[in-house]
Structure 1
Amino acid sequence: MIEELLPGEVACAESFDDPPEAVLLPEEEPEVARAVDKRRREFTTGRHCARLALAKLSVPPVPLPRGERGAPVWPEGIAGSITHCAGYRGAVAARTAEVRSVGIDAEPNGPLPEGVLDAVSLPEERDWIGALDPGATGVHWDRLLFSAKESVYKAWYPLARRFLGFAEARITVDPRAGAFTARLLVPGPVVDGAPLTGFTGRWLVRGGLVLTAIALPAAANNNDQEMRTPDNS
């Protein structure tokens, strides 16, 4: 599913369970040595998906340890992102000559726990959420907002190398086009000679899941980027 949200330059892999062939490389074992079984399975299958995505770019299997703030450390010249939730694991990778940064997130399509929305959203975001009817669309817009902010952070961090709070990016969702925009409310890094001011992304809801994705094209690809429109049913 995730490939529907991203341009062709981005290699994708996903799994809806934890296949037996998903294993860690020795260098990754210490990352989850004391983890509970659920966390270990998520981590292992996420890395498995990442290596499948890298293989599509002709990159051989490599360890993907956690770096600063837990973000995966990708091979030189590669931008990537990993996500997991109940019933889904996915990973994407691209060459930074074509895509500067990428962020993906998967969540269950259900309401956020009580109190979480206020903690992760701006007043204007809550306004548009309140104006949309989840009963008519089957989309839990609060969860979609949360997922979009997670994708924003994953795309932001490799470029800025600093934390981005939930209140430091304003999300606007197009409920018909399956798209969203994120306006940064703090100064962004300079990318390809210009300050980064925000991101555009895509979303879909299917099979009980909310998926969001962002791919920031390299400057040379800005005019060539094609985004496919997903089926949001």
Structure 2
Amino acid sequence: MIAGSLILVAPFAEPGLIWRELRFIPADLNEMATSEDPLGPVRVTLVPDLVEAVAKRRTEFLAGRLCAAMALRWASLPTEVARQGRAPVWPSDIAGAITHSDNRAIAVISRHHVGLGVDCETMISAEQAENLHPEIITPTEAALRPALLPFSDFLTLAFSAKESLYKALSSRLLQMPGFHDVTLVGITDDQVHLAFAGTTYRAQFRITAQDCVTLVAIRA
């Protein structure tokens, strides 16, 4: 079920984005609807292959697709998002991405970008970071951590930024890269820079005590 009001404005200074975000509570649902959208009520229903999924999976899927439906409708496009495997398939004239964490779903689309990636991650605990960091970053990347940023928060940011880059590039990749195929090469107060296949990309980020959101927006 939806918890709280819709967010209609991106937290990043990136022109041309249509951003829709909501909070949710996992529940035993097969459909989700809202009447808060400026264009009127919108409803999405569960796809058949997820009917037997656990409540959390069903709710996060519905929340993400509801955000996507609102974003697409704002762009005067059909609201249904096709799928290839678990990945959304967007209309040919836009870029888009969907993400969700434990209680937050976001969809973003644009006609001004050739690739969009958005990712929201619940903050990794210190214990999890100790166990997971060799799979996500190298010692060289770890050395870029700002002194005031706890290591677990830095690892969450690195994980999320790489996920966003993968999503932004997914339509052009024949095979999804691993975490060590993308290298964190720089960080500022609100951006990280990632190197992949000879090109450097920018991931904007926002960190709170609860979660980390990253956005990679590749302009045409």
**Which residue number in structure 2 is paired with residue 134 of structure 1?**
149
**Which residue number in structure 2 is paired with residue 61 of structure 1?**
79
SS of residue paired to 1:60: coil
Contact between 2:125 and 2:152, CA under 8 Å: does it hold in 1? no
Say whether residues 1:87 and 2:103 are aligned partners: yes
Please list the CA deviations of residues 114-154 of structure 1 after superposition, one character each: whole Å capped at 9, or x if unmatched: 4211111122112223x53335xx98111111111110111
Question: Alignment partner for residue 217 of structure 2, among 212, 215, 218?
Answer: 215
Higher RCO (C-alpha 8 Å, min separation 6): 1
Please list the CA deviations of residues 140-191 of structure 1 after superposition, one character each: whole Å capped at 9, or x if unmatched: 1111111111101111111223211101111134242x0111101x46xxxx
Say whether residues 1:125 and 2:141 are aligned partners: yes
Question: Alignment partner for residue 15 of structure 1, among 22, 26, 40?
Answer: 22
Say whether residues 1:39 and 2:57 are aligned partners: yes
* C-alpha distance in structure 2 between counterparts of 1:168 and 1:76, whole Å: 28
SS of residue paired to 2:107: strand
1:6 deviates by 5.1
Question: Alignment partner for residue 29 of structure 1, among 25, 47, 64?
Answer: 47
Greater share of helix: 1
With normalisation by structure 2, the TM-score equals 0.80
* C-alpha distance in structure 1 between counterparts of 2:13 and 2:166, whole Å: 17
SS of residue paired to 1:215: strand
Contact between 1:111 and 1:142, CA under 8 Å: does it hold in 2? no
Q: Which amino acid aligns with 1:7?
A: E
Contact between 1:31 and 1:66, CA under 8 Å: does it hold in 2? no
**Which residue number in structure 1 is paired with residue 28 of structure 2?**
none
1:52 deviates by 0.9
**Which residue number in structure 1 is paired with residue 120 of structure 2?**
106
Greater share of strand: 2
Contact between 2:50 and 2:58, CA under 8 Å: does it hold in 1? yes
SS of residue paired to 1:4: coil
**Which residue number in structure 2 is paired with residue 181 of structure 1?**
193
Q: Cα RMSD (Å) of the superposition?
A: 2.4
Question: Alignment partner for residue 154 of structure 1, among 164, 167, 172?
Answer: 167
* C-alpha distance in structure 2 between counterparts of 1:84 and 1:216, whole Å: 21
Contact between 2:206 and 2:212, CA under 8 Å: does it hold in 1? yes
With normalisation by structure 1, the TM-score equals 0.76
* C-alpha distance in structure 1 between counterparts of 2:69 and 2:108, whole Å: 9
Structure 1: stretches of 5+ with no match in the other structure: 188-196, 219-233
Q: Which amino acid aligns with 1:142?
A: L
Please list the CA deviations of residues 27-54 of structure 1 after superposition, one character each: whole Å capped at 9, or x if unmatched: x512412311100000011000011111
Structure 2: stretches of 5+ with no match in the other structure: 1-6, 26-30, 35-42
SS of residue paired to 1:21: strand
